Structure 1
Amino acid sequence: MALTADTVVAPPNLDLDDEDANDVEDDVALENGATGEAKKKKKKKKTKKKKPEQSDPPRIGLSKFFPDGNYPVGEIQHYKDDNAWRTTSEEKRYLEKTLSEDAQQTYQSIRKGAEIHRLVRQHARKTIRPGMTLTEIAEEIEAGTRALAEADGLDGGVGFPTGLNINNCAAHFSPNAGDTTVLQMGDVLKVDIGVHIRGRICDSAFTLSWDPSYDNLLKAVEAATNTGIREAGIDVRLGELGGLIQETMESYEVEIGGKVYPVKPIQGLSGHTITPYQIHGGSTGKSVPLVKTKDQTKMEEGDYFAIETFGSTGRGRCVENGDCSHYARVYDVPNVPLRLTTATSLLKTINKNFGTLPFCRRYLDRLGESKYLLGLNHLVAQGVVDSFPPLYDQIGSKTAQFEHTILLRPTCKEVVSRGDDF
């Protein structure tokens, strides 16, 4: 076929839809001297906005992905037994639909913190390997938390020092400046991460091991945590819940080097309520024991709990030992005279940057504080700041930890920190 100014042929070997075919016709017509009428016919293609993609490691602020301020809801679990009616109760459903603005903001703050936690910890779970220093691991986690929260201080960011507890150390260890500890292939590492948004803290932890000998230890503790979550609910008595956690954990045993060890819940450690800017719920906080007790205290509607369990191949009891890294200003701080000017200055820094949120010595270093140990110890001695030294079971034992935060809503239980990883 001969080509003339009136003949339009699309280029061969192109699979075109109607809109693309029209565009091609217009382009060919223009090349062949078409009139202004064809020019008018040519349409501009609409370019679709690309959805932002999170970086690796995660460093793009979460608001870029949720501009409307509505963050993903956690795993929903229905209440059991006497509270099953709450799921379909018109009264309770109406109550949730008509939440006050403050309550709605609280839910979104909690969920934003949980989404940050998921992204940061999932990156940590795939990248933490033997050969890394604990300082590298902690700083990577905390940098991601600050970046995603787009805040660093009382508005949001790190909820408490990243716990990196190896082997018989169960809790409250975070590397201080100069710590050169290197993660080893045979280590069992507990990673405890805190994220807060406007004081609403998401507290969740997991355990990593590269030796299959400890698989059952990890399974026992994770199963115990899931039992605690499943059985938790409004009007549940804390002492009875502890008994169910204990029963699950003690049903496991671990064989190491040909010797069988029972998995014991670590007495003295517990789950806890979380209140604004207070990781352990303050003086009115409730505790979820890991063993059966006579505590008749009940969980209540609106409670926000960290369900965490610790298991050990050792005695199942811990003692304080080693250099302290974890501190927190007392909520109802006493009005006491401070004899040291360094303590007075340091307290101002603590109040401004942490309030009653837990902090560690690395965070003071990061703020430019120096030669502060004398002042810090004075604040502890005067009862203004609490110290939380590392907790260890017997030498040679291995400990594990798993933890999630749950919100006891009027109609259901929301496991806010649940993710695809655990």
Structure 2
Amino acid sequence: MIAPTPLQEAKDQETKPEVVDENEEIDDEVDGDPAENGDAKKKKKKKKPKKKKPVQSDPPRVGLSKFFPNGAYPEGEIQVKNTRTSNNSYRTTSEEKRHLEKLANEDPETTYSNIRRAAEVHRLTRQYARKHIRPGMSMTEIAEMIEDGTRALVEENGLEAGVGFPTGLSLNNCAAHYTPNAGDKTILKDGDVLKVDIGVQVQGRICDSAFTLTFDPTYDKLLEAVQAATNTGIREAGIDMRLGELAGLIQETMESYEVEVGGKSIPVKPIANLSGHSIGLYQIHGGKSVNLVRNDDATKMEEGEYFAIETFGSTGRGYVIESGECSHYARKIDAPHVPLRLTSAKSLLTTINKNFGTIPFCRRYLDRIGESKYLLALNHLVSQDIVESYPPLCDDLGAMTAQFEHTILLRPTVKEVVSRGEDY
């Protein structure tokens, strides 16, 4: 359709008849005396005030439902699922697959609008964070800036919508699972490499996406390597792709990079014991793993699955161990029903079930809802295999690590990178 020129629009305006809204109120007053002026002057119309469009605040705190009242949230990046093992391009035109996609979208448990709403919250929150995170800020200040934005934009409502997991702010050799506990005084410094891992959930659908920030160009190549590896994983992922082969493609991309530090070239290594993963309903790790090093896993990606394609690179040995004070926890999906000898543990489990269910949480979140002196009870729940603890995961001291991640949805017809944005 050809757009009209400004000149044509002006001509059309001159000849276009005036349209009267039947719902507009009519002013009954008549100017002057009809006897003196002849016919009464035309009655004046009172225009209804135009409905103001919502405007997002700075920082973003206006709930997304104000901008998308019909619940139609933006799609992510669409890719046709062509992998090296299977050409799935027929799916885009298959009537059968279109019908299956329609059914999936209408199912309350799988509706795409939930994950897209979570993804739009993620984009707005992280774009603000990327502009405002600066050296000199505390880890607590950064975490609260991100989480306050997430809660406001998603319009937090118990287990219906909220934060998908504690904001990861892992520094330098620490690759994952660090968020500040109460009293943490850690300050971001100029030479730090900061991983920012943000989760948003709507109706149990979790958008999981992460990026890395550095304020010193020394480690730019490290970030480039990891982002490229993540993009390889996204591009090659698809229905019928075998997880072991996908891991090999990710590894190949990452290992093609080097970082120069102090005049010495250091190869970028994928962190062998970290991985991407499938995402279940109210379950951040859904059972399938996308490792970062080639292996013999013949498990296939399947239609309808959600995956977090995340890669971690390191200038160290490429292997992490648990190190430091634990902050991340989650109630296990298959937690056993065991008698709890501590009354405080019973009470805390009730609180966890009510506020988090199986969504991961951290100690700051317990503080926020008014829990206190809970560490003994929390450790007891961990020892009884009801709650899983996730301590920080670190490479050798002196190594630098980076992370990039996106959530993808394997729809029956196409692959949708739901968390993709203009920033990464």
Q: Structure 1-normalised TM-score?
A: 0.90
What code does the residue aligned with 2:131 have? K
Shift in Å, 1:37: 5.8
Q: Aligned residue for 1:207?
A: 212
**Residue of structure 1 equivalent to 2:131:** 126
Deviation (angstroms), 1:90: 2.2
1:170 aligns with 2:172: no
Correspondence for 2:314 among 309, 312, 315: 312
Give aligned-pair identity as a percent: 72
Q: Please say if 1:218 is aligned against 2:226.
A: no
Q: How many aligned residue pairs are there?
A: 396
- Tell me, yes or no, if the aligned pair for 2:104 and 2:111 is still in contact at 8 Å: no
CA distance in 2, matches of 1:38, 1:325: 78
Matched, 1:269 2:274: yes
Distance 2:109 2:39 in 1: 56
Give a deviation string over 1:261-283, Cα, whole Å, max 9, x none.
Answer: 100000110000100111001xx
CA gap 1:197/1:91 in 2 versus in 1, 3 angstroms:
same
Counterpart-to-counterpart distance in 2, 1:388 and 1:36: 87
The CA distance in 2 between the partners of 1:37 and 1:355, in whole Å, is 74
CA–CA separation in structure 2 for the residues paired with 1:370 and 1:43: 63
Give the alignment partner of residue 287 of structure 1, picking from 286, 289, 304.
289
What SS is found at the alignment partner of 2:46?
coil
Give the superposition deviation at 1:93: 1.9
What RMSD in Å do the two structures reach over aligned CA positions?
A: 2.1
For the Cα contact (< 8 Å) 2:276–2:308, is it kept in 1? Answer: yes
| Aligned equivalents of 1:255, 1:113: Cα separation in 2 | 38
Give the unaligned 5+ runs of structure 1: 1-16, 23-28
Aligned counterpart for 2:388 among listed residues 379, 386, 389: 386
The equivalent residue for 2:26 is none
The letter for the 2-side match of 1:401 is: Q
Alignment pair present for 1:339 and 2:344: no
Instruction: Specify the SS of the correspondent of 2:169.
Output: strand
Show the 5 A alignment for 1:136-147: 136-147=141-152
Task: Give the aligned partner of residue 155 of structure 2.
Answer: 150
The CA deviation at 1:382 is: 0.8
**TM-score, normalisation: structure 2:** 0.89
Q: Using the TM superposition, give the Cα deviation of residue 38 of structure 1 relative to its aligned residue in structure 2, in angstroms.
A: 6.2
- CA gap of 1:39–1:152, structure 2 versus 1, over 3 A, is same
Aligned pair in 2 of structure 1 residues 323, 338: CA closer, same or farther (>3 Å)?
A: same
Aligned to 1:5: none
Q: Which residue of 2 aligns with 1:86?
A: 91
**Which residue of structure 2 lines up, in the alignment, with residue 43 of structure 1?**
45
Report the AA paired with residue 81 of structure 2. Y
SS in 1 for 2:56: coil
Cα 1:343–1:259 change in 2 (3 A) is: same
Q: Deviations over 1:137-157 (max 9, x none)?
A: 001111111111111431111
Measured in 1, the distance between the counterparts of 2:363 and 2:332 equals 17
Which residue pairs with 1:13 in the alignment?
none
Question: 2:365 aligns to what?
Answer: 363
3-state SS, counterpart of residue 165 of structure 1: coil
2:174 counterpart letter in structure 1: C
Distance 2:117 2:78 in 1: 16
Q: Quick one: structure 1 residues 345 and 85, their matched pair in 2 at CA, closer, same or farther if it must change by over 3 Å? A: same
Matches within 5 A, 1:210-249: 210-249=215-254
User: Once the 2 structures are TM-superposed, how far is the Cα of residue 130 of structure 1 from its aligned partner?
Assistant: 0.4
Give CA deviations for 1:341-390 in whole Å, capped at 9, x if unaligned. Answer: 11111000000000111000000000100000000001101111000000
**Structure 2 unpaired stretches of 5+:** 1-12, 19-29
Q: Is the 8 A contact 1:158 1:195 kept in 2?
A: yes
Q: Distance in 2 between matches of 1:351 and 1:403?
A: 28
| Alignment check: 8 A CA contact 1:106 1:200 kept | no
1:227-256 superposed Cα distances (whole Å, 9 cap, x missing partner): 000000000000000000000000100001
Structure 1 Cα separation of the partners of residues 38 and 418 of structure 2 = 60
Q: Give the corresponding residue for 1:254.
A: 259
Contact 2:105 2:111 in 1 (8 A): no
SS at match of 2:294: coil
1:338 to 1:47, Cα distance in 2 relative to 1, 3 A: same
SS for the counterpart of 1:242 is helix
Q: 2 CA distance for matches of 1:158 and 1:147?
A: 10
Matched, 1:330 2:332: yes
- Cα displacement (A) at 1:196: 0.2
State the match for 2:355 in structure 1.
353
Match of 2:377 among 371, 375, 378: 375
- Cα deviations by residue, 1:277-320 (Å, 9 ceiling, x for unpaired): 11001xxx100010100000000000100000000000000010
In structure 1, distance between residues paired with 2:360 and 2:31: 69
